[in-house]
Amino acid sequence: MNLDDLQIETPRLLLRVPRVEDLDEWARMMADAESAKFIGGVTPRSSTWRGLMTMIGSWHATGFAMFSVVEKSTGRWVGRLGPWMPEGWPGPEVGWAISRDCWGRGYATEGAIASTNWAFDHLGWDRVIHSIDPDNVASQLVAKKLGSRNLGPGSLPPPFHDSRIDIWGQSRDEWLARHRTRP
């Protein structure tokens, strides 16, 4: 698979493998206290660069990671979302982070549906989780729209082991029953 050609289109979004040129917008999102609140907090540009390189490297090493989210109408990078499962993670996750000026447009849900379909189809996952801070009501609402339910408290590996999270999720069969018609 040529990673440069990999993209998923939704009605309003283009999901593609992250690129170095995404750094400016990604760093802007991570410098915003509200946008970054539940995804590690405000991060300096140098650390954001490392995070971006981690995503790009994961694509090359494992064949998956979060996608860059591009708004089709403007061509602007507006977030990152998709499959994610680093070493020690509590399960195969589809996560999301959207720039604050794009909140409330349904981009997280639209992109998460497309990337979850991709994860089940291309990665062969049998379930999907979402690691959500108990205070992150907006992400809980996205998880509910996806059909996921709160499976209880979970834990992340170091250096995130002090983070409070609940594991939300569902099985592949539950997903297929809700989001696709079987032949």
Question: Number of structural domains, the chain?
Answer: 1
Q: Is residue 2 part of a domain?
A: no
Please state which of the ranges 114-118, 143-147, 155-159 shows the lowest mean pLDDT.
Answer: 155-159
pLDDT tens for residues 49-83?
999 999 999 999 999 999 999 999 999 999 999 99
Q: Is residue 121 part of a domain?
A: yes
Q: Is residue 62 part of a domain?
A: yes
pLDDT tens for residues 104-115?
999 999 999 999
**pLDDT in the model for residue 182:** 45
Residue 183 has pLDDT above 60, yes or no: no
Say which amino acid occupies 149.
R
Q: Is residue 20 part of a domain?
A: yes
Q: Is residue 91 part of a domain?
A: yes
Query: What are the structure tokens assigned to 113, written together?
Result: 């549906």
Q: Is residue 139 part of a domain?
A: yes
Residues paired with residue 67 on neighbouring β-strands, in sequence order: 81
Q: Is residue 132 part of a domain?
A: yes
Identify the CATH number of the domain in which residue 142 sits. Answer: 3.40.630.30
Give the containing element (helix H, strand E) for 152. Answer: strand 149-154
Measure CA of the first residue to CA of the last residue in the chain; give whole Å: 27
- Of 2, 4, 13, 3, the closest CA to residue 112 belongs to 13
For residue 19, give its domain range.
7-179
**Range 32-61 average pLDDT:** 95
Q: How confident is the model at residue 98 (pLDDT cuts 50, 70, 90)?
A: very high
Phi then psi dihedrals of residue 172, to 5 deg = -60, -45
